[in-house]
Structure 1
Amino acid sequence: MNRELPVVAAEPVPRVASPSHPPSWRRLVAAELHRLLAPRGTRIGAVLVPVTVVLFGLSKLLLHDADTSQAWLEAQARFRRFQSDAAEFGLPTNEAVGPRTFFEDPRYLMDPLSFADLRTLIGALAAAAVVFGIFSGGRDWSSRVMLTLATVEPRRARLFGTRALLVGGVAAGATAVAGALLVPLLLLAAVSCGSTGGLDGSYWAALTSQYLRGIVLVALLALLGYALAMLVRGTSPALAIAFLYLASADRIFGGRGPRLAEYDMDGLVFAVLNEKPVVPLAESDCFAGPGCEAAHVDLTTADGFVGVLLYLGPVLLLALWRSTRTDIT
């Protein structure tokens, strides 16, 4: 007697990415983000950054004091020594010079010290972002994993762009978290051993602007490191070339006028993070002296971003060209 066998529905075979069926962009982003955050150094950095920020913020409680009496006594002693030296050596004196001139306020003044502290933090993160970008872009070349990745995702422009967006996004996110951790700690220091005077709407607008500009700056410098590594296809040569590339700017722009001399990376980073707007000389009441020269020479925020893009643009375009137009070996 013949029995009919039951018909069992076949389970769908999962679709595996192949050169003819590359992964969707969502899967590509998830895979590349996992690869980006998987290295041990990245995971250690994810722990060290917030810990370092917290320690930096709490250090303000130890380095400042709300009691100004001792500082005034030291200022009066310095003023008396100044008067004694002036009388002994016949130095000119000025009636405007008094004990206040020699007074060093031990308190933590939220305005203006917080701007400098936030600038210090973002500057350190900017330097770290270049290194992070280099390792993110060069690690897969030394291990020859890039050949496999290019086989799975043959659209190399999409692979290059996805990795670039993730490198910049992770660097920007880390900066956003670090800044958000630091500001409350600085407020704690100001309340505990300093002053919160002057924290009006203009102050918070300026601090927020500096914070947002810093996030964009760190993302751009992470992209610079990534582009250098993708261009030279390695981590060690990219580190060496990054040093030479950034250090050579001082020789290129130095001695070509006070304004061009500030187009080294240090000057550009300061211009981007400067909380004080630069007053054009034509609109200033100042006509001579070092103060006028400094006000005229300083780069604006827009100048700073343009300068950073001048460093980034050519390297990024060359790296994209080499990633899409040359063989991966």
Structure 2
Amino acid sequence: MSLARAESRRLFKRRFTKLLMVGVLLILAAVAAGTYLSNQKVSAGQIAEAKAEANRDYQAGLVSAEQEKQKCLAAEGTPEIQNWGGSCENIYTPSPEDYDYVWYMPASFELRQEFPDMISVFAVVLAAAAFLIGASFVGSEWNSGGMMNLLLWRPQRLRVLGTKMAVFLGWLTGVSLLLAAVWTGVFQLIAQFRGTTDRMTSGVWQSFGLMGLRGLALIVVAGALGFAMASLGRHTGMALGALIGIGAVQIGVYVMAQLAGAKYPDVFLAPLWLFAWLYKEFVVEDYTSCDYSSTGGCELDQFTMTWQVAGTGTAVLVVLVVGAAMWTMRSRDIT
């Protein structure tokens, strides 16, 4: 039997792998069911009623604004004018855009608008599972002594570890693609029966596909990191401990950056990088750059984290961790 085939059998015969995949399927099924039950198909009559209600509220807003303006004009030349900032020109007059009829309709699943969030949910859930399965797959081998026995049969260290990782990542990619196809089909059906598939062009599907590929990359990276960290520590718990430690360090750096007055301390948090990778960019704003007491208004200073930057940083991390795992596999004693 080839090494790759043996590793494939070992991967899928593990109870932890089976239980975790069942858990993933249950979570995804719960998300899909919740989305289906919390949305409904909107009829033309409901749209007309929502537009009428939005217009009624808009007209009421105009009347209220006019009444407020008359009060202000009557207070001119008196101390009470300060209640309106000293001038009646500051009174806001509502516009039709302030009363979007969509806000008056029941929840309805719009595939074009809401499916990107479902792609993110899918990617994050599978990435978490990939990290745990990858860590357990190699960590249990080290902890039980199975790795030492395997090296007696195949004494090529790097080939053994590399094949084990390649088999895991290969199956992870295949299963993820299969589940992604089912996930897409399910939400297309939800949109047809409990929402709308309007404005779905080829460009929109292409955008979904590219986002899905970035989600797949996230899943594979999470699996590789879990596998490599567990191999470095030669125990499943070492990968989990390293993950907790990295999270604690990030929070510490974030707090210190805030105390030091850093302009954009949020860039030290991994969730920002994750969001930027999936949604192509994430804009961080410096709320200290504006004087909100000013009546003239101002624009906040901004920093945009792009998916290219997030991807490059993550790629460097993966190369370092996987490279360290391979180096220690080659140089450390197997005991």
Q: TM-score range by the shorter chain?
A: 0.7 to 0.9
Paired residue for 1:175?
176
How far apart are the structure 2 equivalents of 1:240 and 1:122?
Answer: 22
Paired residue for 1:222?
223
Conserved? CA contact 2:108–2:194, under 8 Å: yes
TM norm structure 2: 0.75
Paired residue for 2:273?
268
Root-mean-square deviation (CA), in Å?
Answer: 3.2
- The one-letter code sitting in structure 2 at the alignment partner of 1:136 is F
Conserved? CA contact 2:62–2:94, under 8 Å: no
- Is the alpha carbon distance of 1:74 and 1:123 closer, same or farther for their aligned partners in structure 2, counting shifts above 3 Å? farther
Q: Percent identity?
A: 22
More helix per residue: 1 or 2? 2
- Is the alpha carbon distance of 1:158 and 1:61 closer, same or farther for their aligned partners in structure 2, counting shifts above 3 Å? same
Paired residue for 1:324?
330
Q: Secondary structure of 1:299's partner?
A: strand
Q: Secondary structure of 2:40's partner?
A: coil
Question: What number of residue pairs does the alignment pair up?
Answer: 290
Paired residue for 1:22?
none
2:307 aligned residue (301, 313, 316): 301
Paired residue for 2:92?
93
Paired residue for 1:118?
119
Conserved? CA contact 2:57–2:99, under 8 Å: yes
Conserved? CA contact 1:107–1:193, under 8 Å: yes
How far apart are the structure 2 equivalents of 1:64 and 1:121?
Answer: 19
Report the CA distance between 1:324 and its aligned residue: 0.9
Paired residue for 1:289?
299
> Any stretches of 5+ residues in structure 2 without a counterpart?
72-82, 85-89, 284-297
Paired residue for 1:243?
244
How far apart are the structure 1 equivalents of 2:252 and 2:177?
Answer: 33
- The one-letter code sitting in structure 2 at the alignment partner of 1:100 is D
Q: Secondary structure of 2:2's partner?
A: helix
Larger deviation, residues 41-50 vs 80-89: 80-89
TM norm structure 1: 0.77
- The one-letter code sitting in structure 2 at the alignment partner of 1:312 is V
Q: Secondary structure of 1:289's partner?
A: coil
- Is the alpha carbon distance of 1:85 and 1:165 closer, same or farther for their aligned partners in structure 2, counting shifts above 3 Å? farther
Conserved? CA contact 1:58–1:189, under 8 Å: no
How far apart are the structure 2 equivalents of 1:319 and 1:112?
Answer: 41
Q: Secondary structure of 1:298's partner?
A: strand
Paired residue for 1:23?
none
- Is the alpha carbon distance of 1:308 and 1:74 closer, same or farther for their aligned partners in structure 2, counting shifts above 3 Å? farther
Paired residue for 1:64?
39
Paired residue for 1:49?
24
Report the CA distance between 1:188 and its aligned residue: 1.2
Q: Deviations over 1:19-46 (max 9, x none)?
A: xxxxxxx700011111112111212233
- The one-letter code sitting in structure 1 at the alignment partner of 2:108 is R
How far apart are the structure 2 equivalents of 1:244 and 1:200?
Answer: 44
- The one-letter code sitting in structure 1 at the alignment partner of 2:182 is L
Q: Deviations over 1:73-110 (max 9, x none)?
A: 88689879988998599694342264328816511111
- Is the alpha carbon distance of 1:75 and 1:247 closer, same or farther for their aligned partners in structure 2, counting shifts above 3 Å? farther
Larger deviation, residues 240-249 vs 209-218: 240-249
> Any stretches of 5+ residues in structure 1 without a counterpart?
1-25, 279-287
In the alignment, structure 1 residue 195 sits paired with structure 2 residue 196: yes
How far apart are the structure 1 equivalents of 2:64 and 2:13?
Answer: 63
Q: Deviations over 1:229-277 (max 9, x none)?
A: 000111123211221124423434655543x733532122212211579
Larger deviation, residues 69-78 vs 109-118: 69-78
Q: Secondary structure of 2:305's partner?
A: coil
How far apart are the structure 2 equivalents of 1:122 and 1:113?
Answer: 15
- The one-letter code sitting in structure 2 at the alignment partner of 1:118 is I
How far apart are the structure 1 equivalents of 2:169 and 2:93?
Answer: 53
Paired residue for 1:312?
318
Conserved? CA contact 2:61–2:94, under 8 Å: no
